[in-house]
Amino acid sequence: MLRQRALCLLTWLLLLPTTGWCCTPVIESISAARGVEGSQQAAAAHPATGWVPVTLPDRWSQRWPGHDGTVWYRIDWHSDCTQRAGPPSLVIESIVMAGAVYSNDDLLWADLQLDEPMSRSWNMPRHWILPGSGLRPGRNTLWFKVQGHGQPSQGLGLVHLLDAPQAHALMDSLQLHRRTMFTVSLTLSLAMGGMFAGMWLFYRRRAEHGWFALTSFAWAGFIWNVLATDTWPFPDTQTLMRANTLALLAYAYCFRMFVLRLLVKAPSTRQTRAMAALGGMGAASILLSPQALLASIISINALVAVGAFIMTCLELIVRSAHRANARNRPFAIVALVFLFAAAHDLLAVNGLLYTRGAYAPIAGIALSLVISIVLAARVARNMRRVERFSQRLNAAVETACTDLEISLRQERELAIANSRLKERLQMSYDLHDSLGAALGRAIALAEQPRHGTGRSDDARHLSTLRSLRDDLRQIIDSGTATDPVPPQTPTDWLAPVRHRFSTLFDELDIHSRWQVPAHWDVPPDARQCLEMKRLLEEALTNVIKHADARNVDVTLHIPMPGALELRIEDDGVGFDAPHVRQHGAGLGMHSMQARAGALGGELQIQSRAGHTRISLHLRDVQHALKTEPQAC
């Protein structure tokens, strides 16, 4: 009352030139009585007995333990002013949980729901100007009907009777501390939670972002209980109380995990499981507790959650003092502020300290801002690192591309050189196999005795030159033709070779046999035909030059569908086949091995005195066609 009179005096001194005498109503007594149980009409009436003096703010659970229902409050007041600017204003800081207000016998206001699900006026300050028509000279009475089923702190908050300017100033202060700050904290928590949840979803390795998002959402859920004026979306007040306590537990647990991620990156499995088990037991006790024990269970879990939060803040402060965690010192400073706010609000909740508003939302706003700024700074620092790395990577890629371009150019030049070398090598094979065979035949004819042949030297030399010319023309044509036509039948393929070598074999007194199938099973292409012909010519030339044979068999047959086998056999002196395969003696043998490899086939050589066999096996002509599509 002294404070009110002092405020009134100050207002009078400031407004004396423009206003009349300031008059503050005087409250004579405040008393409370339990409501009458029974019919609805009886419950709506003022109790006739049972009134006891109380002081505001009042919690009737301390006076009437176990009482759950209605309590009436009576405030008698009077005004000793002789001159007034208007009727006084009534300001109520809180009604826990719902209620109705009467001036004398006139209803000023009532909550929308006085029974379950009740309206929630516990953090909603209210203001009315008392109707002058209902006021009496001298003593007046204010009646407050308060409903508080199952609440841990049921009762009536402070009540003020003030002049209009004072009432408006008080309401502005109450709205700021009890509504606006919580609304800002709720909005900021949802915004920060959504932003960091998105960051975590796109980059799961930063688990602290996910835990901070969950912490923000849990805090928003807890603050919603402060701002809600009804129980939606829950069916009744008790269910909302359970949900609100679960949100507080979730906030303490998620904040603990967030701090651990900041300090040690990866908490131990034992510690994480212990925290999860403790939180799970608390949640189970809240969800499964009977109605009679709900208030006690909620109080115990709230104390556990607050205690866990305080311990986490202390751990953050202590461990951030070390040099290894120096980057977390901004969090530690805000945690220290939050500890002060938590201590203040705990004293206020337990009635040990009066305050117009809680400090938790202010500390929550500061904590959210600091955490957001620090985490955002870390993200920005990482992005700058990524940008610098990207620049270095781009420079390295450009250098690598330049080096690769040079390497590809060198490789291309090397490939061209290798191609030319292969062409020259192929030309040497062709010259050796074709012209060498022709020269071998010419030399063999020249060494034969000329009597009885019926041919002149000029004719023999002319025949040799024509053969050389034909072989050279065939080499040139095979190297320049773009779309050669393969022989239609095996007989057509073998005919030129048989014609050239049969005459020579006859003159050398060598008996030759030629066996080929009538048709191709899978026709080889022109390149394959040429390679097989060159291999056959080289083998027959070796027979003439080295074998000293009397019989030669040339066989081409089809051992299975899609396969070919070319076999050359003679009864000459033979040679050391393993030595030839191992050391590659002789250009002719090397040429045959190379042609067999180009065909994708296998060359087998078996030789002993009196019998030599050279076999070319093509297992899959069709596959060879697919892998060697180039034409001769």
Average confidence (pLDDT) over 583-605:
77
Q: For the ranges 65-79, 252-266, 339-353, which has the lowest average pLDDT?
A: 339-353
* Residue located via tokens 């647990």: 253
Instruction: Answer yes or no: do 357 and 290 share one domain.
Output: yes
Prior bond of 117 cis (ω within 30°): yes
Please write the tens of the pLDDT for every residue from 398-448: 999 999 989 988 887 888 788 777 767 766 666 665 566 666 666 665 665
> Backbone phi, then psi, for 77, in 5-degree steps?
-145, 160
Provide the domain limits for residue 89: 2-162
HEC letters along 457-520: HHHHHHHHHHHHHHHHHHHHHHHHCCCCCCCCCHHHHHHHHHHHHHHHHHHCCCEEEEECCCCC
Which whole number is the average pLDDT over 510-515?
92
Total domains, the chain? 3
| Predicted pLDDT of residue 28 | 93
Q: Which of 175, 182, 158 is nearest to 359 (CA)?
A: 182
| Domain shared by 228 and 144, yes or no | no
Looking at the fold, whether 121 and 146 belong to one and the same domain comes out as yes
Contacts of 227 (CB under 8 A, 6+ apart): 123, 179, 182, 183, 186
H or E element, residue 570 = strand 564-570
Residue 170 has pLDDT above 50, yes or no: yes
Residue 22: both structure tokens together = 């300031």
Higher-confidence residue: 377 or 628?
377
- Tell which of 355, 387, 419 closes a domain: 387
Tell whether 211 and 154 lie within a shared domain.
no
- Report which of residues 562 and 480 the model is more confident about: 562
Please list the residues that pair with 537 across neighbouring strands: none
Which domain CATH number covers 136? 2.60.120.260
Alpha carbon distance 146, 156 (integer Å)? 7
Q: Which tokens hold the place of 287?
A: 């969800």
Q: Is the residue at 619 inside a domain?
A: yes
Clarify whether residues 182 and 288 are in a common domain: yes
Tens of pLDDT, residue by residue over 173-189, are 999 988 998 999 899 99
Q: Final residue of a domain: which of 337, 362, 387?
A: 387
Inside any domain, residue 453: no
pLDDT tens, position by position, 68-117: 889 999 999 987 654 555 788 999 999 988 999 999 989 999 999 888 88
Averaged pLDDT score across all residues of the chain: 80
* Angle in degrees, CA 406, 412, 415, rounded to 5: 140
Same domain, 144 and 194: no
What pLDDT, on a 0 to 100 scale, did the predictor assign at position 418? Answer: 80
Q: Are 95 and 147 in contact (CB under 8 A)?
A: no
Does 208 map to a domain? yes
Instruction: HSE, CB side, 13 Å, CA atoms: give it for residue 125.
Output: 23
Look up tokens 């028509």; give the residue. Answer: 133
Q: Structure tokens of 323?
A: 């040099």
Which DSSP state fits 351?
T
Is 20 within a domain? Answer: yes
Is 428 a domain residue? no
Task: Indicate if 288 and 181 belong to the same structural domain.
Answer: yes
For residues 78 and 187, state if they share a domain. no
Higher pLDDT, 218 or 587: 218
**pLDDT of 285:** 93
Q: Does the residue 24 lie in any domain? A: yes
